[in-house]
């Protein structure tokens, strides 16, 4: 180190205590320049081209595993080496995990620089923007962010207030409509205009709900996810000074996973980058899997139209997967008609063949996965974290979890039952939110009677009506309770609650989040009350609460914004995938959606059954089916060395057992040399798992499953007449179908004996 000199100063000078941020910055830049040649050597020709195209709009088509993150991080390093200040660089990713990963990798290239470059998700960028500019955009800088659960509560109260039928206007559906409207830049007023012109009654009611919903959010001082984007974009559009400020600040913009951006996100980038035009977007239309969330694939396909002078670079060399994996993935994705043709290639060897496992049910499938992980670990000295298991729906994780627990395999489930969604955690958080902003009605309703303080339905109804009469929040209604018909005991309780929150709010500016949280536990007696319950469940809840306290500690040790606002924002926008690091040697379980952007030595894709993956009715709609197929492609291309595809003949959903046929994606891989069946045999010592490898007639078998007696096909039976196949199980001689006959009755029939004719 002392040998390194910057100009006339020895490097250690810069590392001494007197070093300023600026000096450190210059030192780091020096290091980058020194190593830039080395950096560039680590890139292939196309990647280097993408890194070196410093100015102007740039579109990078980056196939799976082609070093997309590498290009972005090296590009940032290159920009820094060219004298661009880290403060002028904005990198936007889709998930927090991706942002974290990028930061980490920049830090590897340019130590300490990861923190200075603004890298965030769209949503956290907007949250930061709106808080910083709150004064200019007419917001309280302490606004809360409502998650989907909070949204649901608000929507429900809207429906109640408007005397609508929850069955006709389902909260979940309404949230979806409103969220999609916001993605498309339609605020409540614009939506209302559209609804009126359409003459559609349903849409007009939705417009009313939308409007009421927004006023309720405002009353509570809250924004939902969609608002973060919508308001940011509206303000950038309307406020010239603001727009110029951000255009000036962010001279270089990079957007990851551009294929998944929605219209609002597209506009955000367009506005900020309009001046410098230094917009670099990276994406892959084959990995677009969020259209259901408003993502518009046209954003990537029409980038060249938006920026006529843009340069386009295609990254096609895959560094991740063996050629076996890559070619099967290609065989699957090429079935999509709506895609830009790309030819990924690799100079890696063929590698292991893809292994197909057929199981009788979900339990055996899980056992097979667990068994295979143990076998591979013994054989190849793999770590647990080299394995990942993907599935289409979160519900599938439970069975896997059971098997892993039985086998003693350490695992981590990412995303399913979220820690922050547990009742006891939400209760503590609701207190924190009230301390931060007592007008938060959702939190107020949540904890007004937790722990029990004798405030029930009647009291709440009275309070609600005061609030709506006066046009204030529930908290704001408290001073008026003297005039309402509220039992004196309840009145006293409300008063005490108010004093409690006020007490907790005292000194909040000077206390750490942890101190505030501990004060909540202390003053509310929440833990003590749980202890008194003395049940296993209560014990569990107490444990979770302490886990929350350590999560807060963790937050405070790591985050740059350690305020209560910062913490609550983080809780709303960050999921636990960000806390997972490879340092924990655990098998990772997650949905296919969450897997995007990650890679593992060995990947299991489970539940490959028609109706589950592709899910539900999606196979009847070409667009839906193609998105499912892209999801399959994303899953397959996560694997570096080994890929397992498994399915179960029957699966229990909602306590009902369904018979399924293998997913069409299985046969689309075109690489089925053999199928493994896992059978559990009863031996003297108990149960024994037997693996059977079926090599012959594999293709015929799958074809038969799909074509001979496909679900939905019409059949004729001598005795029962005409009908439709609605379910299916077994194979070969044991192939059984359930037929719903036109008479209305249904029968389970063994195909071999039933003598059915396909009509």
Partner DNA sequence: CGGTAGTCAGTTTTT
Partner DNA sequence: CTGACTACCG
Q: Which residues are at the interface with DNA (CB under 7 A)?
A: 94-96, 121-124, 147-148, 156, 167, 170, 172, 179, 225, 289, 292-293, 392-395, 415, 449, 452-460, 487, 490, 573, 575, 577, 590-591, 593-594, 615-616, 618, 624, 654-655
Beta carbon nearer to DNA, 81 or 93: 93
Catalytic residue chosen out of the listed positions 46, 47, 66, 68: 68
Beta carbon nearer to DNA, 248 or 292: 292
In the bound complex, what is the minimum distance in angstroms from residue 207's beta carbon to DNA?
Answer: 21
Beta carbon nearer to DNA, 124 or 192: 124
In the bound complex, what is the minimum distance in angstroms from residue 461's beta carbon to DNA?
Answer: 8
Residue 83 near residue 108, CB atoms below 8 Å: no
Catalytic residue chosen out of the listed positions 95, 153, 287, 667: 287
Q: Which residue has the tokens 């500690």?
A: 553
Beta carbon nearer to DNA, 380 or 489: 489
Catalytic residue chosen out of the listed positions 133, 150, 256, 641: 256
68 in catalytic set: yes
Catalytic residue chosen out of the listed positions 147, 257, 364, 677: 257
Pairing outcome for strands 736-741 and 746-750: antiparallel
Beta carbon nearer to DNA, 217 or 594: 594
- Among 155, 274, 284, 277, which residue's Cα sits nearest to residue 211? 155
Q: Distance between CA atoms of 411 and 301, rounded to whole angstroms?
A: 39
Q: Which residue has the tokens 């998930």?
A: 95
Beta carbon nearer to DNA, 328 or 394: 394
Catalytic residue chosen out of the listed positions 251, 426, 446, 638: 638
In the bound complex, what is the minimum distance in angstroms from residue 617's beta carbon to DNA?
Answer: 8
In the bound complex, what is the minimum distance in angstroms from residue 568's beta carbon to DNA?
Answer: 14
152 in catalytic set: no
In the bound complex, what is the minimum distance in angstroms from residue 652's beta carbon to DNA?
Answer: 8
Following DSSP, what letter does each residue of 153-173 receive, concatenated? HHHHHHHHHTT--TTTS-HHH
In sequence order, which residues have a C-beta less than 8 Å from that of residue 474 and are 6 or more positions away?
A: 439, 441, 444, 445, 448, 463, 464, 467
Pairing outcome for strands 89-93 and 714-717: unpaired
In the bound complex, what is the minimum distance in angstroms from residue 50's beta carbon to DNA?
Answer: 26
- Residue 749 preceded by cis peptide, ω within 30: no
In the bound complex, what is the minimum distance in angstroms from residue 459's beta carbon to DNA?
Answer: 3
Beta carbon nearer to DNA, 353 or 415: 415
Helix 513-524, helix 423-436: angle, nearest 10: 110
In sequence order, which residues have a C-beta less than 8 Å from that of residue 169 and are 6 or more positions away?
A: 159, 205, 206, 209
Beta carbon nearer to DNA, 239 or 619: 619
Q: Which residue has the tokens 């299991």?
A: 604
Q: Distance between CA atoms of 246 and 265, rounded to whole angstroms?
A: 15
In the bound complex, what is the minimum distance in angstroms from residue 306's beta carbon to DNA?
Answer: 23
Q: Distance between CA atoms of 98 and 258, rounded to whole angstroms?
A: 13
| Helical residues (DSSP H) of 450-487, grouped into ranges | 457-470, 474-477
- Among 149, 76, 156, 91, which residue's Cα sits nearest to residue 121? 91
In sequence order, which residues have a C-beta less than 8 Å from that of residue 365 and are 6 or more positions away?
A: 357, 359, 399, 606, 607, 646, 647, 648, 678
Look up residue 581 and give its two tokens: 């690091």
In the bound complex, what is the minimum distance in angstroms from residue 654's beta carbon to DNA?
Answer: 4
Q: How many other C-beta atoms are found inside a 10 Å radius of the C-beta of residue 17? A: 4
Q: Distance between CA atoms of 759 and 757, rounded to whole angstroms?
A: 6
- Under DSSP, is residue 312 helix (H, G, I), strand (E, B) or coil? strand
In sequence order, the β-bridge partners of residue 653 are: 656
In sequence order, the β-bridge partners of residue 313 are: 60
In sequence order, which residues have a C-beta less than 8 Å from that of residue 127 and are 6 or more positions away?
A: 145, 228, 569, 573
651 in catalytic set: no
In the bound complex, what is the minimum distance in angstroms from residue 455's beta carbon to DNA?
Answer: 6
Beta carbon nearer to DNA, 103 or 123: 123
In sequence order, which residues have a C-beta less than 8 Å from that of residue 94 and are 6 or more positions away?
A: 121, 122, 256, 257, 260, 597
Helix 564-573, helix 513-524: angle, nearest 10: 90
Beta carbon nearer to DNA, 58 or 589: 589
Task: Indicate left, alpha or beta for 471 from its phi (over 0: left) and psi (-120 to 50: alpha).
Answer: left
Catalytic residue chosen out of the listed positions 26, 48, 49, 69: 69
Which residues are identified as catalytic?
68-69, 256-257, 287, 638
């Amino acid at each position: 180190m002392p040998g390194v000199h910057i100009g006339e100063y020895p490097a250690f000078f810069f590392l001494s205590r007197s070093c300023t941020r600026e000096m450190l910055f210059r030192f780091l830049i020096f290091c980058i320049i020194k190593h830039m040649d080395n950096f560039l050597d680590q890139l292939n020709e196309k990647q280097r081209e993408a890194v070196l195209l410093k100015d102007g709009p740039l579109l990078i088509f980056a196939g799976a595993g082609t070093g997309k993150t590498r290009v972005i991080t090296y590009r940032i390093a290159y920009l820094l080496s060219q004298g661009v200040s880290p403060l002028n660089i904005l990198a936007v990713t889709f998930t927090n995990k991706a942002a974290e990963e990028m930061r980490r990798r920049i830090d590897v290239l340019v130590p300490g620089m990861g923190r200075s470059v603004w890298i965030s998700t769209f949503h956290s960028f907007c949250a930061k923007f709106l808080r910083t500019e709150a004064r200019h955009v007419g917001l309280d800088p302490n606004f809360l962010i409502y998650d989907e659960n909070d949204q649901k509560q608000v929507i429900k109260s809207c429906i109640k207030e408007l005397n609508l039928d929850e069955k006709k206007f389902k909260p979940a559906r309404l949230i979806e409509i409103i969220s999609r409207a916001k993605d498309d830049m339609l605020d409540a007023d614009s939506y209302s205009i559209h609804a009126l012109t359409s003459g559609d009654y349903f849409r007009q009611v939705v417009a009313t709900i939308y409007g009421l919903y927004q006023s309720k959010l405002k009353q509570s001082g809250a924004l939902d996810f969609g608002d973060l984007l919508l308001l940011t974009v509206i303000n950038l559009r309307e406020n010239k000074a603001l727009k110029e400020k951000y255009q000036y600040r962010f001279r270089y913009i990079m957007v990851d996973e551009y294929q998944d951006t929605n219209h609002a996100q597209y506009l955000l980038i367009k506005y900020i980058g309009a001046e410098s035009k230094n917009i670099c977007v990276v994406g892959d239309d084959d990995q677009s899997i969020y259209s259901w969330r408003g993502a518009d694939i046209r954003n990537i396909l029409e980038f060249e139209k938006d920026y006529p002078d843009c340069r386009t670079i295609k990254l096609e060399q895959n560094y991740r997967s063996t050629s076996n994996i890559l070619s099967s993935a290609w065989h699957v994705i090429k079935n999509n008609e709506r895609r830009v043709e790309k030819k990924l290639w690799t100079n890696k060897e063929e590698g292991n063949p893809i292994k197909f496992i057929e199981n009788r049910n979900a339990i055996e499938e899980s056992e097979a996965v667990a068994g295979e992980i143990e076998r591979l670990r013994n054989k190849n000295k793999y770590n647990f974290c080299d394995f990942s298991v993907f599935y289409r729906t979160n519900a599938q994780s439970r069975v896997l979890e059971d098997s892993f627990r039985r086998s003693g395999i350490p695992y981590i489930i990412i995303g399913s039952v979220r820690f922050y969604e547990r009742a006891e955690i939400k209760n503590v958080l609701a207190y924190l939110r009230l301390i931060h902003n007592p007008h938060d009605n959702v939190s107020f309703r949540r904890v007004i009677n937790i722990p029990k303080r004798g405030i029930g339905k009647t009291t709440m109804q009275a309070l609600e009506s005061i609030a709506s009469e006066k046009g204030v929040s529930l908290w704001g209604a408290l001073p008026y309770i003297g005039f309402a018909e509220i039992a004196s005991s309840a009145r006293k309780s409300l008063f005490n609650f108010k004093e409690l929150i006020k007490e907790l709010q005292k000194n909040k500016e000077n206390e750490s989040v942890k101190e505030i949280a501990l004060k909540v536990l202390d003053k509310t007696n929440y833990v003590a009350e749980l202890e008194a319950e003395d049940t296993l469940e209560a014990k569990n809840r107490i444990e979770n609460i302490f886990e929350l306290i350590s999560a807060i500690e963790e937050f405070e040790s790591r985050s740059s914004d350690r305020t209560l606002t910062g913490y609550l924002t983080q809780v709303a926008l960050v999921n636990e995938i960000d806390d997972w690091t490879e340092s924990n040697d655990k098998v990772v379980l997650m949905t296919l959606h969450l897997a995007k952007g990650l890679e593992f030595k060995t990947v299991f894709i489970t539940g490959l059954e028609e109706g589950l993956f592709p899910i539900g009715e999606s196979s009847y709609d070409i667009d839906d089916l193609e998105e499912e197929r892209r999801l399959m492609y994303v899953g397959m291309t996560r694997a570096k060395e080994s890929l397992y595809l498994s399915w179960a003949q029957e699966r229990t959903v909602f306590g009902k057992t369904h018979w399924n046929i293998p997913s069409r994606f299985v046969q689309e891989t075109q690489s089925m040399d053999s199928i493994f069946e896992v059978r559990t045999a009863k031996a003297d010592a108990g149960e024994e798992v037997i693996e059977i490898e079926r090599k012959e007639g594999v293709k015929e078998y799958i074809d038969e499953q799909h074509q001979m007696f496909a679900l939905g096909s019409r059949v004729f039976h001598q005795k029962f007449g005409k009908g439709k196949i609605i379910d299916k199980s077994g194979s070969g001689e044991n192939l059984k179908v359930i037929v719903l006959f036109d008479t209305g009755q249904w029968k389970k029939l063994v195909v071999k004996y039933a003598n059915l004719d396909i009509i």
